[in-house]
Amino acid sequence: MTLSYNAPHISAPKRNQIHFKPQLYLPGTYCPLQSQFSLASLTSFRVGGPAEWYVAPRSLEDLQASFEWVQHQKLPMTLLGAGSNLLVSDQGLPGLVICTRYLRHIEFNNDTGLVTVGAGEPIARLAWQAAKRGWQGLEWAVGIPGTVGGAVVMNAGAHSSCTADLLVNVETISPSGMIEQLTPQDLGFSYRTSILQGGHRLVTQATFQLQPGADPKEVQAKTSQHLKQRHSSQPYHLPSCGSVFRNPDSHAAGWLIEQIGLKGYQIGGAQVAQRHANFILNCGGAQANDIFQVIRHVQQQVEHHWSVWLEPEVRILGEFQLG
Ligand SMILES: Cc1cc2nc3c(=O)[nH]c(=O)nc-3n(C[C@H](O)[C@H](O)[C@H](O)COP(=O)(O)OP(=O)(O)OC[C@H]3O[C@@H](n4cnc5c(N)ncnc54)[C@H](O)[C@@H]3O)c2cc1C
C-alpha cells in the first residue's frame, strides 16, 4: 500500500522524545489520516476495537480526498456519525472509517423557517437552538445523542415524531464524488430506516422545515419536558445504544423481553437494563462480544416464547463470535 506523506505537515520530534510516529495526511489536504485508531471512545456503548484507518473530514474537499484515497487503496469504508447506534466488533474494522463529527454548521432562515444543518451537528444541540429561537418542530429530538446525518439515515424519532416528518432536502456525496440533492420521497423512509442505511452515500447536510414564531419559553419548556420524561423512563446513566431492537408490529420489543424475565440478564459487563428491557447497558468493562451475545440470547428467547424474531435497530459492524 502506498501512502502519501504530506511533507510540510510532518510534525518535528520533541526533545527527548524517543518514539516518533510521523503524522500522515490525506493527499493534498491538511486532514490527518490515522492508523489503528480506537473506536471505543467514539461509540456510545464505549466498546469496539480500532479502525485500520480513520479520518474526520472538516470540509467537502477533505471528504472528496477521503473517498479518492479509499478507492485508490481498494479498501472497505465505514461511515460514522456520533456512534450512538453502532456495535463495533472488538477486532475493530478493516479499511477506512470516515467520521462526520466535524461537518458542522447551522443556518436558520428567518423568512422561511427552514434550517440547514451540517451532518455532524448533534441533533439535540439543534433542537435546543431551535427552541431558544421559539421555533417548533424538533422538541422530540432533544434526547437523541446522535448527529443530524445519523438521524436522517436511521430516521430517528421519539414521542410519535421522526426525522422524515420535518425533512425537506438532504445533500449526499457518493464515493465517486457525485453530489446529489435528495427529497424525503427519494429516501424510502419508514420506521427507523431509510435507503441510505448500509450504503456508501454520505449525508453532508440536511434541511428541515420548522415553525418559527412561538414563545421561546414555551418551546424550551416542552423540550425540557421531553428530556425529563426520557431520563425518568430510560437508563441514560450507563453506556448504551438506546433501543437495541426495532418494535415488531405486535408489541413493543421491551415488553416482549420484560415479560419473559430477561431484565437484568448479563454476560460479562453487558446487561439487559432493569429500567427499560429494550436497552442493553455496558455496566463496566463490557466487550462488544458480550453485548452481541446478550443480543443473540434475547432474540432466541423471544423467538422461543413469542415466535417473534426481534430485528436489531443497532447497526452491528465487524466480526463477532457466539458461545
Ligand atoms: C441513550 C440513547 C438514546 C437513544 N434514543 C433514541 C430515540 O429516542 N430514537 C431514535 O431513533 N434513536 C435513539 N437512539 C439511537 C441513536 O441515537 C440514533 O439512531 C441516531 O440517529 C444515530 O445517529 P449517529 O450520528 O450516532 O449515527 P451512528 O450511530 O454513528 O451511525 C448510524 C448509521 O448511520 C450511518 N451514518 C451516520 N452518519 C452518516 C452520514 N452523515 N451519512 C451517511 N451515513 C451515516 C452509519 O454508517 C450507520 O449505519 C438513542 C441512542 C442512545 C445511546
The phi, psi pair for 70, rounded to 5°, reads -65, -35
Q: Buried b / exposed e across 143-161, counting CB within 10 Å, b at 16+?
A: bbbbbbbbbbbbbbbbeeb
Residue 153 has pLDDT above 70, yes or no: yes
Amino acid at 262: L
The domain boundary residue, chosen from 181, 216, 232:
232
If one residue of 154, 241, 280 were mutated to test the ligand 1 pocket, choosing by the most ligand atoms within 8 A of its CB, it would be 154
> To which residue does cell 461509540 refer?
43
107 is catalytic: no
Q: State what percent of residues in the chain have pLDDT above 70.
A: 93
Rounded to the nearest angstrom, the distance between the alpha carbon of 205 and the centre of ligand 1 is 15
Q: How far apart are CA 290 and CA 241, in angstroms?
A: 14
Q: What is the pLDDT of residues 177-196, one digit of tens each?
A: 999 999 999 999 999 999 99
To test the ligand 1 pocket, which listed residue (39, 99, 153) has its Cβ within 8 A of the most ligand atoms? 153
pLDDT at 226: 96
| Atom number, ligand 1, closest to the C-alpha of residue 100 | 41
Question: Are 156 and 273 contained in the same domain?
Answer: no
CB-based contact 128:142 (threshold 8 Å): yes
- Band of pLDDT at residue 198, cut at 50, 70 and 90: confident
Task: Evaluate whether residue 13 is within a structural domain.
Answer: yes
DSSP 198: T
Active site residue 35: no
Beta bridge partners of 206: 117, 170
State mean pLDDT over 89-95: 98
pTM summary value = 0.93
Q: Which of 186, 216, 232 is the last residue of a domain?
A: 232
Q: What is the CATH number of the domain that holds 72?
A: 3.30.43.10
Does 2 map to a domain?
no
H-run or E-run covering 237: none
Query: Mean per-residue pLDDT for 293-302?
Result: 98
Count of domains for the chain? 3
Q: Are residues 137 and 53 in the same domain?
A: no
End residue of a domain, out of 232, 252, 279: 232
Domain containing 245: what range?
235-317
User: Which burial class, exposed, middle or buried, applies to 59 when counting CB atoms under 10 A from its CB (0-12, 13-18, 19+)?
Assistant: middle
